[in-house]
Amino acid sequence: MKTILISIPMGIIARNILQTDVFRILKAQKDLRIVLILPPNVDPHFRKEVESKNVIIEEWRGRVRAGAFRHFILYPFMRYLVYTQTTKFLILYGSKKNRPQYAPLRYFFSLLLFSWLSKITLLKRLSRWIDYKFFGYYDKPYQPLFDQYKPSVVFVTDLLRQPVCLALTRIARRRGIPTVGMVKSWDNLDKTLLITLPDLFLVWNEHMKDDLIRLQGVQPENIKITGIPQFDIYKKPGILLSRKEYCRQMGINPNKRILFFGSEGSSFHYDDEFVDILHQLLVEGAFKKDCVLLVRPHFHHEDKSKAGRFERFRKYYPQIVLDKRDRTSRCFFSEKWDPSFEDMKRLANHLYHCDILITTFSTLTLDAAAFDKPIINLVFDGLRPRSKIESSLRGFQYTHYQKVIKTRGVRLVHNKEELKNTINQYLENHLLDKEGREKLRQRFCYKLDGKSGKRIAQYLLEVLSKT
């Protein structure tokens, strides 16, 4: 029996891998043992759903330390060897989403150094080689896993920032075990240099493949495009409810048009103000069709001062339906989110039955494009102007989202009046910007055929067959 070791460091990855055909196909292989590496304190409901005769859960075996040289010198240097518009904004304003700062001096020196150092591919390879060659000591906590299970393949699912994923990849390489890797989302690869690379890289779309080749120095033959596995549910039979049943479950009048607002969470930590604006427009009778506002708070936890900022809409705003029922988990402490299959079905139905998606620079833009729904992006600072330091609008300038905007598949609105007018235009003609949404799907969604999870599983089984 062969063994595949799979890292699941976050709830969003548990959704993408364990709630899709990736896991179902692998689990169905009678001659394959699956060892899942998860953070500590795995919830009983998670074990009950996942563990079986050929599926074993192992919790993290301690923190993977970097050491002083790597933490203070090597990794900060490597970080800026990917130097994009996204990187520049992160340097200038910091990476803590709801704790803005302003560091023009740091930005100036980074511009002097990394605007040209980042173009040297050999320097990226040398940095990775140093990290791999001289710091194996720090990966020791996870070596016993390899001695115990003797994996044939290691599949790591978040190579951007998870130290455990990096350690598992390095150990596997030292032992000559094939590695397959992913990053958790489509917006990861233009932010920083990946410290460690797998033998085979799986990506969702052409955009990610381009970033891997151009920014990360990965060879094209080592990259496979799979599609977005969590989008497969959108094509599964029996998932989408009738309009009548969906509206009954959500408490919505089926004769009303549904405006779906999706929060961006800590990346836009005052976007609840947009709900106030939309509610005001509803009360004023500003829309040409009778509408209801469906609000989905972001799954990601936020700082305590912002916790529950959408709850005020639940009791006192009758025109608003608040959806906040996503399952949480103590295991996935970085986000506290453990989406169930029912959570995924509910989101699919929100998207299918809504008339317009309204959001900021959210990944929900891609979800809505998959359903060919009109998409409005809010490019203003809510109820009051913010300074450049306070404002979250810089997210629209990030490299990956600029490519979304260029497809013309989304409408950018810059104030309340534009928002009202654009909603009315889409309510009268939902086919507006249809060609742009098609470009958006082709560029970022790859194949919406319900088989992305199957493709990921097949690539993993191909690698296993060669061991």
Q: 313 versus 48: which is more confidently predicted?
A: 48
144-164 pLDDT per residue, tens: 999 999 999 999 999 997 999
Do 33 and 3 contact (CB within 8 A), yes or no? yes
Report how far residue 75's alpha carbon sits from residue 68's, in angstroms, rounded to the nearest whole number: 10
pLDDT at 308 over 80: no
Question: Which pLDDT score, from 0 to 100, does residue 334 have?
Answer: 64
In terms of domains, do 112 and 131 share one?
no
In terms of domains, do 201 and 326 share one?
no
Report how far residue 277's alpha carbon sits from residue 376's, in angstroms, rounded to the nearest whole number: 14
Q: What are the tokens at 297?
A: 């708070």
Q: What is the average per-residue pLDDT within 225-235? A: 96
In terms of domains, do 209 and 90 share one?
no
In terms of domains, do 261 and 144 share one?
no
160-215 pLDDT per residue, tens: 979 999 999 999 999 999 999 999 999 999 999 999 999 999 999 999 999 999 99
Q: For residue 74, is it within any domain?
A: no
In terms of domains, do 170 and 209 share one?
yes
pLDDT at 110 over 70: yes
* Burial class for 144, CB neighbours closer than 10 Å (0-12, 13-18, 19+): exposed
Tell me, what CATH number does 48's domain have? Answer: 3.40.50.2000
Angle 399-406/206-214 helices, nearest 10 degrees? 140
Question: Which pLDDT score, from 0 to 100, does residue 457 have?
Answer: 98
CB neighbour list of residue 194: distance below 8 Å, 6 or more residues apart = 159, 160, 183, 216
Domain with 89, as residue range(s), is 83-117
86-107 pLDDT per residue, tens: 999 889 887 765 566 788 888 8
Instruction: Report CA-CA distances (Å) from 95 to 87, 110, 186, 395.
Output: 9, 15, 18, 11
Q: For residue 273, is it within any domain?
A: yes
In terms of domains, do 346 and 438 share one?
yes
CB neighbour list of residue 282: distance below 8 Å, 6 or more residues apart = 291, 293, 319
In terms of domains, do 157 and 98 share one?
no
Strand partners, 320: 293
Q: For residue 69, is it within any domain?
A: no
In terms of domains, do 150 and 298 share one?
no
Question: Which pLDDT score, from 0 to 100, does residue 326 have?
Answer: 66
Which amino acid, residue 90?
A: L
End-to-end Cα distance, the chain: 12
Report how far residue 193's alpha carbon sits from residue 215's, in angstroms, rounded to the nearest whole number: 8
Q: For residue 169, is it within any domain?
A: yes
Report how far residue 386's alpha carbon sits from residue 28's, in angstroms, rounded to the nearest whole number: 53
pLDDT at 35 over 60: yes
In terms of domains, do 36 and 158 share one?
yes
In terms of domains, do 51 and 142 share one?
yes
255-283 pLDDT per residue, tens: 999 999 999 887 888 899 999 999 999 99
Threshold 0.75, pTM exceeds: yes
Total structural domains in the chain?
3
Q: For residue 279, is it within any domain?
A: yes
pLDDT at 303 over 70: no
Do 263 and 310 contact (CB within 8 A), yes or no? yes
